[in-house]
Amino acid sequence: MTWNDREVACDESGSDGENLTGGNTDVFAHAGVGLPVDAAAACVREIRDRIRSPAEEYKANHLLREKHRAVLEWLLAPDGPIHGNAHVHLVEKEFFLVDRTAHLLLGDTAEALSLYRTGRRTFGEAGWREFVRAANRLLRVRHDGEPSEPAELFFRTVDDLRQAHARTAVAPVLDGLAAARSRADDYRAGLLAGPPLIPPLNPLLPAIVRTAAYWSAGGREVRLVHDRQNLLTPERIAWIEETARRAGIRLVGLRLVVAGEDPRVQLADFLAGIARKLASDELNRRADPALTALLRPYVDPASVWGDEAGRAALLGKISPAAPSADINSAV
């Protein structure tokens, strides 16, 4: 298959649905692998031969075990089997949440990075946790309590933070959030009429659009093959394709497959799981620099990542700004 007609297999790791602050993971990863099927199958066989686990289904955690480090290094190495033919888009979940909150309440995401970096330093750990939990509840589509409760909680939290940090650098952003009650009420009222087609807190759909953008750079056409996901209904696949078209991305199709039946998707699953774990280690200051260096060539520069030190480590350079989810999301 030539670059003019490329098929890329995809999978994700770290999906907790709309729960961005209290789930099992703090990083979401979406990987794409552009190898031919036969080359991918040979790579999967080689991994199995090197690890020799009795497990029927191999996952990323097999390669992440210390006793199999040599296999992990072989897979990611510059002369390894996927180098130059794989890519991973990373999403730091708390920054994604702040980005989506700024989009909803402030009308754009220009203040998201400042709020994320300055706010978490200013509020302290307890204050920051209270803020992001309230924001998560405000934007979350599913809610079983009183319809007005998420907005009441969020704006009460914002008012408390305004009083406590009135003369700090983050005060203007808090003032802007406090003045946006009508936007929040309209959003919550809209949810009562029915859930939106695109859940604003789920990073999978914009990540797929971004993956298509990466692989179609230079005007190449790309087809995506994706592991089956309940979220990927025909209506949402149509949204992905239409969003890509409007952005000038040459995505010519997206089809779903069973991961175990396509070795390319299995490799994408490996890479997504590996990248999620290594990126989370960077975020939590427990990284292995050698493994981060091996991952770096695969990481999308447009990853939605607010943590400055982690971004520099994962991309190998200091970036003055972190891309917004609005780069690839019409939510």
Residue closest to 31 by CA, chosen among 82, 96, 100, 99:
82
Question: What tokens were used for 240?
Answer: 């992905």
CB-based contacts of 9, cutoff 8 Å, min separation 6: 32, 33, 34, 40, 224, 225, 226, 257, 262, 264, 265, 267, 268
* DSSP of 85-126: SEEEEEEEHHHHHHHHHHHHHHSSSTTHHHHHHHHHHHHHHH
What is the share, in percent, of the chain residues with pLDDT greater than 70? 95
**Cα–Cα dist 76/297, whole Å:** 9
Residue spans of beta strands (DSSP E) within the chain:
5-13, 27-33, 86-92, 221-227, 251-257
Q: Taking residues 53-57, what's their average pLDDT?
A: 77
Q: How far apart are CA 267 and CA 11, in angstroms?
A: 9
> pTM of the predicted model, to two decimals?
0.93
Residue 115, Cα to own-chain centre: how many angstroms? Answer: 19
pLDDT digits (tens, 9 = 90+) for 152-201: 999 999 999 999 999 999 999 999 999 999 999 999 999 988 889 999 99
The confidence band for 90, taking pLDDT boundaries of 50, 70 and 90, is: very high
Confidence of residue 54 (pLDDT cuts 50, 70, 90): confident
